[in-house]
Structure 1
Amino acid sequence: MLDANKLKADILDDMRVELSDEFDRNFERKAFFSDKWKPRAHDYPKGSLLVVTSAMRRSAQGEVSGDGVRFSSALPYTTLHNEGGTGFKQVRAHTRKSKKGKIYTVRAHQRKFNMPQRQFIGDGPDTQRIIRGVIDDNLKKFNLSLTEFLRK
């Protein structure tokens, strides 16, 4: 017997798992599926692009919410990396030495920077393909197509 509520819960949970895996793989691909990320402006020897400590990668969590799956992160910089945009960096007061040897003080200030979009979570053709696959796989358990299920 077809239990529509259980089917829906199974589909949403499978979507959460499949999309979480694929979004995690985007860090390995250095791309949002096949859309490659823009390279860094400067070489950074401590780690791969967006994977220095893996904190952002680990922080991205999927959660079944209502009729969908919602992805979020507790880290404040995740949205800036995923969507791109302008950010501000706090620069502490410090001293500098000029080429001529003179020491001077730099006041604390904010420095504005532009972050290119390096999306790893979101909607798109590949996301929709995964969602359709999850729905089809769950409907096959009941020998149903999507149109047959919607008629019931």
Structure 2
Amino acid sequence: MRTGDEVRRDILSEMRVKLFEEFHRNFTRKAFFDKPWKPRRIERRGSLLLVSGKLRRSLKATVTHDGLRISSSMPYASAHNEGYEGNVSVRAHTRGAYKARRRVKGRMRRVDVRAHTVSSYTYKMSLPERRFVGDHPEVRRMVTDIVSRHLEQWGQELAAKMQRHARSTNNR
């Protein structure tokens, strides 16, 4: 028969798997469960929040001593999840050589752009909230289902053990 700590560990383990799958599905849904993400102002390559997939792959779910922790190693994860409005500083850097299309003598031509140094600068950034991890009624429902199912099973195990014990004491 399982102990209380084993039941708790089983509950947290199942919650880790189930919630992690659902948070990953939010990237496919392009929504936080039933709340769609705000679309980009300018359409670009890739899906919303999934140009390279690094953010999605960086999500980690770990069971801790006091519960479940979902985290990301990407520094911009919280800015996307919670939204961000503020100034961003860019350090001075060197931009490598590349080819570009530029207007030369009235016609568009491909030109070589040499490597050059870019000075540091600051710009105002406004990222809308595109939540992919967090609290939601659907999350609470899943947690409630998992906990109640495990506690019900544990209760049945306890009842069966008590019945076996009662039978064995009556047979003496």
Q: Which runs of 4+ in 1 moved over 6 A?
A: none
Contact 2:89–2:120 (Cα < 8 Å) also in 1: no
Offset at residue 61 of structure 1 (A): 0.7
Contact 1:62–1:71 (Cα < 8 Å) also in 2: yes
Paired letter, 1:29: R
- State the partner residue of 1:141: 153
Counterparts of 2:123 and 2:7, CA distance in 1:
51
**Once the two structures are superposed, what CA deviation does each residue of 1:16-35 show, in whole Å capped at 9, x if it has no partner?**
11000000000001011001
If the length of structure 2 is used for normalisation, what is the TM-score?
Answer: 0.71
* Aligned-partner SS, 1:47: coil
Offset at residue 67 of structure 1 (A): 2.4
Contact 1:91–1:111 (Cα < 8 Å) also in 2: no
List alignment gaps of at least 5 residues for structure 1: 145-152
Offset at residue 142 of structure 1 (A): 2.9
Count of equivalent residues: 137
- State the partner residue of 2:140: 128
Counterparts of 2:16 and 2:77, CA distance in 1:
19
- State the partner residue of 1:115: 127
Contact 1:62–1:69 (Cα < 8 Å) also in 2: yes
Offset at residue 92 of structure 1 (A): 5.3
Contact 1:31–1:119 (Cα < 8 Å) also in 2: yes
Counterparts of 2:56 and 2:118, CA distance in 1:
35
* Aligned-partner SS, 1:138: helix
Q: 1:33-44 maps to which residues of 2 (within 5 A)?
A: 33-44=33-44
- State the partner residue of 1:71: 70
Contact 2:7–2:154 (Cα < 8 Å) also in 1: no
130-139 or 26-35: bigger deviation: 130-139
Task: Give aligned-pair identity as a percent.
Answer: 40
Residues 2 and 108 of structure 1: CA distance in aligned 2, closer, same or farther (over 3 Å): closer
* Aligned-partner SS, 2:154: coil
List alignment gaps of at least 5 residues for structure 2: 96-102, 106-116, 157-172
Contact 1:61–1:73 (Cα < 8 Å) also in 2: yes
1:59 paired with 2:58, answer yes
Offset at residue 134 of structure 1 (A): 1.2
Counterparts of 1:120 and 1:83, CA distance in 2:
9
Contact 1:81–1:116 (Cα < 8 Å) also in 2: yes
Residues 8 and 78 of structure 1: CA distance in aligned 2, closer, same or farther (over 3 Å): same
1:30 paired with 2:23, answer no
Offset at residue 126 of structure 1 (A): 1.1
* Aligned-partner SS, 2:145: helix
| Structure (1/2) with the larger strand percentage | 2
